[in-house]
Amino acid sequence: MKKRGILNSEIATVLSKMGHTDMIVIADCGLPIPDEVKRIDLALEQGLPSFLKTLDVILEDIVVEKVTLAHEIKDQNPTLDLEVKKRFDQQKLNYLSHEELKELTKRAKAVIRTGEATPYANIVLHAGVIF
């Protein structure tokens, strides 16, 4: 058994295969996930696991070059937007419309579906490199 790190085998596998600029999405329980993209469903019930807890665990395991969020989070979920901003340098933040973000998910290696039930709690993480 693994001693530490991500225990979910699907997430660990996807992260280990990611290269520079590859994308992974952490989503709320309502984001439509394209059929052609790997779905890793963690949702247990509304709110569990939370978006932020899932994000924090993923961030312990990968290098992130930039992130993409929906513009709508600024007005519809400003508390979450602030929490995300605390975790990244401002130059790493990129905002698109929610419709554009949904299109971007089609190119992701996987979408991790959380139990989060607050508006626009979706993020695209673009992988960086360790050197």
Position 107 scores a pLDDT of 98
Asked if 70 contacts 97 with a C-beta cutoff of 8 angstroms, the reply is yes
CB atoms within 10 A of CB 130: 6
Catalytic residue among 20, 39, 106, 107: 20
Q: What pLDDT digit, counting tens, does each position of 30-64 carry? A: 999 999 999 999 999 999 999 999 999 999 999 99
Q: Is the pLDDT of residue 1 over 90?
A: no
* E strand or H helix at 93: strand 93-96
pLDDT class of 98 with cuts at 50, 70, 90: very high
Q: Is the pLDDT of residue 111 over 90?
A: yes
pTM, to two decimals: 0.96
Q: Could you give the domains of the chain?
A: 21-127 (3.40.1650.10)
20 flagged as catalytic: yes
98 annotated to bind ligand? yes
